[in-house]
Amino acid sequence: MVSFLTNPRSFMAFSRIAAPVLGVATACAFALGLYRTFTVPEDALHGDTVRMMFIHVPAAWLAMFSYACLGVASLLNLVFRQALADLAARACAPLGAAFTGLALVTGSLWGRPTWGTWWEWDGRMTSVLILFLLWLAYIALRAAIDDEARAARAGAILALVGMVNLPIIHFSVYWWNSLHQGSSTLGAAKGDGLPPVYGATLGIMGLAYLGLFGALWLTRIRTEVRLRRLRAAALRAAED
Amino acid sequence: MRPLFTLLGRELALGWGRGGGPLPALAFYAAITVLLPLAAGPDTSRLAPVATGVAWMALALASLLSLERLFERDFEDGGLDLLMTGPMALELVCAVKCLAQWITTAGPLALAAPVAAVMLGAPLGSAPTILACALAGGLAFVFVGGIGAALALGARRGGLLVAAIVLPLFSPPVIFGGAALYADQLGSGAGGGLLLLLGWTAGAVALSPLAMAAACRNAVQ
């Protein structure tokens, strides 16, 4: 099904439609989600600060999801030598770093009123910070190697090594004694889950973040493809 | 088995003889240890609670220092190409190199770790735990660090890059070793953390040669 995406030309044709459509859908989802974020009733325990959840939690989801995307793209590049997969991995890195940074910053802002601290060295926060460092390492490694194909494969190896970190993030809540609360969505203990009005808003915001990531990623891959075409054209022109 | 021991002998000789052997790493380790009381004040009551932790963290940093030369010289003089065409799998070559690095550098560092911790005010009874952590953790640091060293081959600013790549990956062993040291300090037994550290080390020893060899092939091509 996805095989037509491996060809740059058909990818460009696909993304030319898909990116703007996804962008418009994302804008609609954000409009609805943000409206609900500011109009849902206050929480009995958290008060107004519960609204931070709709900003923070989807960012943390996307931080992990984008790293999974990087891992899949890296695997496709490393094993199947898909050139487009490498462009996707390259385009993914700054986005993933941004979402991870957003999760850290909003988490810190939310932690201050609810926990009374900007930062606490608990398992989940620490491992998200490590995820952020992994993004930086990935970007630094790619930037330090001049040869494009070599940088692509070195980055892919590092990304796959870093994938080991993803399950640690997920299970860190259970591994370390933690200030960070457990999951309230999937796999929450009975009676500990979110009330439906919050759950729906969180879901809409999650979709909005996902759409934003998708639209930006597609656009960035398009830019990478064009950059490569430009470089190839410049090479040809220099040979003539 | 013969090529394996020949390679191990060569790596040990190079690791021990070249550039002062373990001396730079030891000097670096001692210097970090000295800087802590200079920065935080010489008061033992303030130093003692963090003594084992700092000795442990400094060990991770010191084992990072000599990683850069793990593949660098062989990469530059073409030795790596020869090793790749040799009878041994490149994965095994990488593992042997890491093993030699562990013996020549991490071993002396592990012996220095309890001394540093006790100088900072840790009780003498904690020395065996620190030594065990340093020996097991040193192996993990070398094997995971080898991935960074192999990835940074042929890159600009290799040394800094190795640190940026490798330090985040050091976090699980540092956590496990730290947990063992902390439990030892509380008197509740370091066994759990130590076992986790050993388990993680075993995983790293088994898996990282694959990544190292892939990175070496990528750099040489």
CA distances from A65 to A115, A154, A167, A225 (A): 26, 21, 12, 23
CA A55, A217, A64, B215 torsion: positive or negative?
A: negative
Inspect the interface and report whether the beta carbons of B155 and A134 lie closer than 8 Å: no
Q: What is the pLDDT of residues A12-45, one digit of tens each?
A: 888 888 888 999 999 998 888 888 888 877 776 6
Contact A33, A198 (CB under 8 A): no
Contact yes or no for B168 and A153 at CB 8 A: no
Q: Mark the ranges of chain B whose per-residue pLDDT is less than 50.
A: none
ipTM of the complex: 0.85
Torsion sign (Cα): B8, B10, B11, B12: positive
| Residue A182 vs residue B54, higher pLDDT | B54
- pLDDT of A1: 46
Cβ-defined contact of A157 to B168 (cutoff 8 Å): no
Contacts of A140 in chain B (CB under 8 A): 161, 164-165
Give the nearest partner residue to A140 out of B161, B218, B219, using CB atoms. B161
Written as one string, the DSSP assignment of B186-215 is: HTS-SHHHHHHHHHHHHHHHHHHHHHHHHH
How far away is chain A from the Cα of B2, in angstroms, using its nearest Cα? 31
Who among B164, B218, B219 is closest to A137 (CB)? Answer: B164
Contact between B168 and A134 using a beta-carbon 8 Å cutoff? yes
CB-based contact, B214 to chain A, within 8 Å: yes
Tens digit of each residue's pLDDT (9 = 90 or more) over B93-136? 999 999 998 998 888 999 999 888 888 888 888 888 889 999 99
- pLDDT tens digits, residue range A57-113? 888 889 989 999 999 999 988 888 888 888 889 899 999 999 999 999 988 888 777
Q: What is the pLDDT of residue A191?
A: 56
Contacts of A133 in chain B (CB under 8 A): 164, 167-168
